[in-house]
Amino acid sequence: MVPLVEIEIKSVKRPSIAVHGGAGDWSIDRDTETSVRRWIEEALISGYEILKRGGSSIDAVTEAVATLEDSGIFNAGSGSALNALGYAELDAGVMEGYNMYSGSVASVKSIKNPVRLARLVMDNTSHVMLCCDGAEKLASALGLRLEGFSISERILNRYRDLVSKALSSNQAVSPYIKGNIEVMRRMITGSLGDTVGAVAIDREGRLAAATSTGGVWLKLPGRIGDSPIPGSGFYADRHIACSATGLGEAIMTISLCRSIAIASRFLGSVAPAVAYTFEELESIPRFRGFAHAGVIVMEHSEKLYMTFNTRGMARGYISSDTESLEVSIYR
Ligand code: ASP
């Protein structure tokens, strides 16, 4: 099979961790690029320090994603995209691959680090996913600070700009938003990002994945994407760990991460599995032409795969043999 998407394949030595800051256009100025690279490095260091001390991959991915949530520059945590009504609803999920425990939260509004709350769901409940008020009640019951966060002027300005474009009939808007415009008009009268994620392998060879997002700009309130859905936006078993970014509706339609895991078992290797699932993703009729996505996949046999069908995907990794931070945004 000839891969249609270009796949970066890296040999890593365990322990190792990789992170992404979302697949997208990444048209940014130099200063923003410098801080994107710096935060990717910070996230790698925060996760790698845990792994180096002999800690688990699940602790490492949780910490790395929390660092990216705190950065304020990615579409997660305090940098989250706003919905059509101008407020943030956050989704996140974590999974460890050895016993296949996972936890996630969807549509939470007053939690600065939804990835930590997803971890509480995994460690302290018999459930996999909690949403909305219930998820926030769990946070206060378990003492996770309900740390609200303020939305920056940069995010508010982007919101105003996107809303005015979406609602003005003579402006071209993305096909994703188009389908909602009528409903948005009714809601707004008075009325499209860069998710973050991590995959790691620890000294014992246990794999883990985590993903966190504010979702898609101008989504309808209550919309939940792929990021908190195990098998779609994140997944880990004893063979691979995967974190995805991109158009949630397309990703969840084919359960992107779990599809890569299954296809790699049947095809006997990860690269053709990634190529196959991306082909499938891009041919979903409903999303043809705008099924944008990216994935990072850590394999138990100490290989890392990174790919995206957009102009860029902020990403980086660190492997214990060289301990150097490898960071890139474009191809
Ligand atoms: N996958 C996220 C969502 O649809 C968005 C992104 O990755 O940028 O909610």
User: Residue 128 burial by CB count (10 A; 0-12/13-18/19+): exposed, middle or buried?
Assistant: middle
Of 66-80, 251-265, 268-282, the one with minimum mean pLDDT is 66-80
Q: How far is the CA of 214 from the centre of ligand 1 (A)?
A: 7
Question: Using CA positions, which residue lies closest to atom 9 of ligand 1?
Answer: 215
> Where does 72-142 have alpha helices with state H?
114-124, 132-141
- Mutation choice for ligand 1 from 104, 213, 234, 249, CB with most ligand atoms inside 8 A: 213
User: Taking Cα atoms as reference points, which of 48, 62, 41 lies closest to residue 326?
Assistant: 41
For tokens 């099979």, name the residue. 1
Question: Taking CB atoms and a 6 Å cutoff, what residues make up the pocket around ligand 1?
Answer: 22, 75, 193-195, 213, 215-216, 225-227, 233, 245-248
Q: For the residues 207-218, what does the mean pLDDT come to?
A: 95
Q: For the residues 95-122, what does the mean pLDDT come to?
A: 96
Q: Which pLDDT band, with edges at 50, 70 and 90, does 191 fall under?
A: very low
pLDDT over 50 (residue 210): yes
- Catalytic annotation, pick one of 32, 62, 125, 195: 195
Torsion, CA 260, CA 264, CA 267, CA 271, rounded to 10: 80
Percent of the chain whose pLDDT exceeds 90? 78
Query: Strand, helix or coil at 322?
Result: coil
Q: Which pLDDT band, with edges at 50, 70 and 90, does 174 fall under?
A: confident
User: Which pLDDT value is given to residue 168?
Assistant: 76
pLDDT in tens, 88-103: 999 999 999 999 999 9
- Mutation choice for ligand 1 from 89, 223, 247, 313, CB with most ligand atoms inside 8 A: 247
pLDDT over 70 (residue 2): no
Q: Which pLDDT band, with edges at 50, 70 and 90, does 190 fall under?
A: very low
Which comes out higher in pLDDT, residue 164 or 20? 20
Q: How far is the CA of 203 from the centre of ligand 1 (A)?
A: 31
E-assigned strand segments in 85-135: 90-96, 101-108, 129-131
pLDDT in tens, 129-155: 999 999 999 999 998 875 666 778 888
User: Which pLDDT value is given to residue 189?
Assistant: 44
pLDDT in tens, 285-313: 999 999 999 999 999 999 999 999 999 99
Q: For the residues 193-215, what does the mean pLDDT come to?
A: 95
User: Which pLDDT value is given to residue 268?
Assistant: 95
Do residues 313 and 329 make contact, with C-beta atoms less than 8 angstroms apart? yes
pLDDT over 70 (residue 188): no
For tokens 């009729």, name the residue. 285
What is the C-alpha separation between 77 and 91, in angstroms, rounded? 9
pLDDT in tens, 50-86: 999 999 999 999 999 999 999 999 999 988 999 989 9
Question: Using CA positions, which residue lies closest to atom 4 of ligand 1?
Answer: 248
- Mutation choice for ligand 1 from 68, 105, 226, CB with most ligand atoms inside 8 A: 226
CA distances for 286 relative to 124, 245, 261, 275, angstroms: 38, 18, 24, 20
195 is catalytic: yes
Q: How far is the CA of 149 from the centre of ligand 1 (A)?
A: 20
pTM beyond 0.85: yes
